[in-house]
Amino acid sequence: MQLRQLRYVVEVYRRGNHISDAADALHTSQPGISKQIRLLELELGFDIFERTRNRIVGVTEAGRAVIEIAERIFGEVADIKKIRDDYNKEAGGKLIIATTHTFARYVLPRVVQAFLLKHPKVQVGLMQGNPTEVCEYVHAGQADLGVGTQSQKTFLGLVRLPCLTVTRCVMAKKGHPILDLDKITLKDLARYPIIAHDNFRSGGWNIIESFLEKGITPTIPFSGVDSDVGKTYVELGMGIAIMASVAVDPAHDGDLEARDVSHLFRSSPAYVSFRRSSYLRKLELDFMELLSPALTRRKVLASREAAASGDTEEPQ
């Protein structure tokens, strides 16, 4: 068994079982990957991938166990490199942050700016996705930290620490009747078409649930969009949008105006997440404290220890 073979298996899995995509990502040949995976399966005595006419269509139960272990192995290898970077003052290194579009656009720019002033040699990379994908990136070791709201899946290998609270606002074109009301109600909002987030985001399901709990069925002509796309459709006059208040940007919102509706919808805690078993470099610790001053080095490390001992999965 070779690490190279495990790398091929993991990459094929991450690329949706497409060997050609894995070969492109790893700068090698498709036949070479296929051969090495077959050799590994022969050595193990079972198939890692399910095949139909020599085409990979899925992962076997045993294969999933192999992939989980392989991902942990490569995560540990990455941690060794982190330790090297931490003790090599000349090395800048990389910090990969997985996050949602709204956080990448409205929350993280000032944090990243302050971080790079402190660590000018470090390269920061952003990976975007919905909250569940953010956790998947971190869980798989593709990102060092994740920043986002609640995911639809549980990830037992992650520590998630609250970093801020997301409230809601309604966004409409200036002059829209909804903006003239003294106090906005759910019934008022339901009189107009609503441009909505998808249900992979906590804002999406919280908003719909709030209406349904009051027996109100809103009209949603268009959904599955992030904050900036939602603003575009509001500008076209297609409706109003209910979105995270952090996405309000008066300097760039043009003909749009926002009103607070946090009294109508539950707020969503946002978390910074990292792998419980990962080595936390000074880079990660500094970034978390810049994101939320309450996330001091002592608190983060204590929270990781508490999670490792089984005291809590989401230390407060």
Q: What is the pLDDT along the chain (316 residues), one digit of tens a residue?
A: 888 899 899 889 888 888 898 898 889 998 999 999 999 989 989 999 998 887 888 899 999 899 888 887 887 777 677 777 666 655 568 899 999 999 999 999 999 999 999 999 899 999 999 899 999 999 888 899 999 988 878 887 899 999 999 999 999 999 999 999 999 999 999 999 998 766 555 556 678 888 989 999 888 887 767 888 889 999 999 999 998 999 999 999 999 999 999 999 988 899 999 988 888 888 999 999 999 999 999 999 888 888 765 544 444 3
8 Å CB contact between 75 and 7: no
Q: Which residue has the tokens 């190279």?
A: 4
* DSSP H or E segment with residue 51: strand 49-52
**Integer Cα distance of 54 and 25 in angstroms:** 21
- The CATH number fitting domain 3-69, selected from 1.10.1370.30, 1.10.1760.20, 1.10.10.10, 1.10.3720.10: 1.10.10.10
CA dihedral of 261, 262, 266, 271, whole degrees rounded to 10: 120
What's 168-260's CATH class?
A: alpha beta
Task: Output the pLDDT for position 249.
Answer: 92
Task: Output the pLDDT for position 189.
Answer: 95
Range list for CATH 3.40.190.10 in the chain = 92-165+269-308, 168-260
Task: Output the pLDDT for position 304.
Answer: 82
Residue 273: burial class (beta carbons within 10 Å; 0-12, 13-18, 19+): buried
Distance between the two ends of the chain, CA-based, in angstroms? 42
Token code pair at residue 135: 């956790």
Range list for CATH 1.10.10.10 in the chain = 3-69
Q: Look at residues 73, 65, 28, 31 and name the one whose alpha carbon lies nearest to residue 48.
A: 65
**Integer Cα distance of 275 and 143 in angstroms:** 10
Task: Output the pLDDT for position 53.
Answer: 81
8 Å CB contact between 193 and 290: no
**Integer Cα distance of 278 and 142 in angstroms:** 12
Q: Look at residues 224, 201, 211 and name the one whose alpha carbon lies nearest to residue 264.
A: 211
**What CATH code is assigned to 92-165+269-308?**
3.40.190.10
